[in-house]
Structure 1
Amino acid sequence: MKIGLAPTNSDYGPATADMAVEAEQRGYDSLWVGEHSHIPASRQTVHPDGGDLPQLYWHMRDPFVSLATAAAATSKIKLAMGVCLVLEHEILDLAKSVATLDEVSDGRLLFGVGVGWNREELANVSNVPWAQRYNAMRETVAALRLLWTEHEASYSGEFVNFAPSWVYPKPTQRPGPPVLVGCRGRIGMRHVAEYADGWCPLDVGFRDVRVGMERFRTAAESAGRDPDGIPISMYCYASPDAEKLELYRELGVERIVLAAPDGAERLARYVDRNQHLVDTFAD
């Protein structure tokens, strides 16, 4: 099993490059960072876990800049977006940023994508209706793949449109970095099954992880795909232990991403406390 590490990447935490170096030295296969360009100060959307919104959400560093610094400081570890909120980006600029990051990291990028959970955040930067966000993400991913592979690409859709254009560089990975969809609901699973290179669920998203895995396999088979051919990188928010990781491995999870707590001291203790899991389970 592969083991990834996901620090909160807040501006009051350790430098992303330093975390990447430490994670590489400790045996992690990947470093994951999330994205929130902003958080509306006045909002109606409730945080998925309930309660007050943690301050880390509006203190996240830019993921592209963060992973670029990590790429310069490391040589082996995968660098992962977990996840990029693709609907909050202009498509041509996004294609260039992703391709450039894949280039400067020598093809080590894992491109996780998602639609987010905050209605007001999306409304601030996009005209995509909330109910159509997954359909808009489908078009966005399709357009990105064209831009990464074709010299002159164009796209005409309901949500994504651009005239024939040249966008370079192209990613080092061909036909592009793996696109991993982060979601935990039935609609998201259908999209994973339709076009994703991998699935990024949360282990706290189901009453029973086994049930979630079975739903995913059913969705993949219904889409005519082999579920074993769609790698799963599961975010582990529940307290990790050997029994839990063994269960996830038996269920076919390829990678566990340890979701570290906020704050430098808590992060350091978390990494030390769970090093035995990396030593035991990491490929």
Structure 2
Amino acid sequence: MRYGFYLPTRGPTATRDGILSLARAGERLGLHSAMVADHIVFPVESDSPYPYTLDGKHPGTGDALETFTILGLVAGATERLRLVTSVLVLPYRNPVLTAKLVASLDVLSGGRVTLGVGVGWLKEEFEALDSPDFDRRGTVTDEWLTIFKQLWTTSPATFDGRFYRYADIRCEPFPLQKPHPPIWVGGHSTAALRRTARYGDGWHPVGAIAASPLPPQEMTAHLQRLRQMTEAEGRDFDALTISYKAPLYDTSIPDRDGSRRSFSGTAEEIADDIRAFAAIGVHELIFDFRGSAIAESIERLERFAAEVIPLVGR
């Protein structure tokens, strides 16, 4: 099992020193990857339901550092950490510019980028950015992925799509990773599974929270569907990376039925949960160690590395 962790993007810990301290601690402790979320603006009021809380409200207060800027900072201060967008909302950015940003970061980081992608949920943010129509965001995302793969492997390139077109352009240098940086698709809807099967190198759902529990038995059913979809596309399911995002909980926060939440409790209980997810085919677990202060975040990360990882093994 590999492990990843989230870097702060907003709030008092989202500073240069805070981000670098946590990133360097994760690398020092042997974690595999660092995740950065993606928001650009927040509406003062919103009717868009957030999919990962029971009340549909996003916990943010309006501030957010930009994703590629954070990853550029971290790339220059680390040597081994994978740099993961988790997840980049593809319709927010021009596809040619995004392809260039990803390729440049991959070159300058020594080939450490993983592109986690999603379609987004915040309609008012789409509107503020003058992004393609919110209701067509899935189709737009698929087209952007097609553009990325072309621009990362072909030069000169020509594309004539439903939402974007160009002719005889060069977008070099290509990424260091071949054929291109891995693409992980977020979400666990049917559309997300289909997108993974068609375009993805990995599947990257959120689980172990009240609004999205995804326990092992449910994950197993999704993985079976994903295998069928991937094979129907003529692709190799076993080549996909399965990366599962989850918090670490105190036992004082039970599941909805009063039982212990996954990844909560003692070190041995958390290790048992990790073994259960490894047994069904999860390759990487992404935990959220972020606290109200960077020192608290690092302490949580260090405790996990010292108490849990040795019980499971690497």
Q: Same fold (TM over 0.5)?
A: yes
Residue 270 and residue 135 in structure 1: after superposition, are their counterparts in 2 closer, same or farther (change >3 A)?
same
Structure showing greater Rg: 2
Letter in 1 for 2:6: A
Counterpart of 1:234 (choices 221, 244, 254) is: 244
CA contact (8 A) 1:102 1:177 kept: yes
1:182 alignment counterpart: 186
Between 98-107 and 260-269, the greater mean CA deviation after superposition: 260-269
Residue 281 and residue 121 in structure 1: after superposition, are their counterparts in 2 closer, same or farther (change >3 A)?
farther
1:22 alignment counterpart: 25
Unpaired runs of at least 5, structure 2: 250-262, 264-269
Moved over 6 A (4+): none
User: Does residue 59 of structure 2 align to residue 54 of structure 1?
Assistant: yes
CA contact (8 A) 2:25 2:298 kept: no
1:92 alignment counterpart: 96
Residue 263 and residue 159 in structure 1: after superposition, are their counterparts in 2 closer, same or farther (change >3 A)?
farther
Cα separation, 1, equivalents of 2:73 and 2:214: 38
Shift of 1:207: 5.1
Shift of 1:208: 3.2
Cα separation, 2, equivalents of 1:278 and 1:116: 33
Percent identity, please. 24
Question: Deviation digits for residues 54-112 of structure 1, max 9, x if unmatched?
Answer: 236x3222121111111111111111111111110011111111111001100011111
TM-align CA RMSD: 2.0
CA contact (8 A) 1:18 1:70 kept: no
User: Does residue 207 of structure 2 align to residue 203 of structure 1?
Assistant: yes
Letter in 2 for 1:277: V
1:270 alignment counterpart: 300
Letter in 2 for 1:24: E
Residue 282 and residue 155 in structure 1: after superposition, are their counterparts in 2 closer, same or farther (change >3 A)?
farther
2:40 alignment counterpart: 37
CA contact (8 A) 1:203 1:238 kept: no
Shift of 1:185: 1.3
CA contact (8 A) 2:93 2:131 kept: no
CA contact (8 A) 1:9 1:61 kept: yes
Cα separation, 2, equivalents of 1:112 and 1:218: 20
Residue 109 and residue 127 in structure 1: after superposition, are their counterparts in 2 closer, same or farther (change >3 A)?
closer
Letter in 1 for 2:44: A
Tell which has more relative contact order, 1 or 2 (C-alpha 8 A, sep 6+): 1
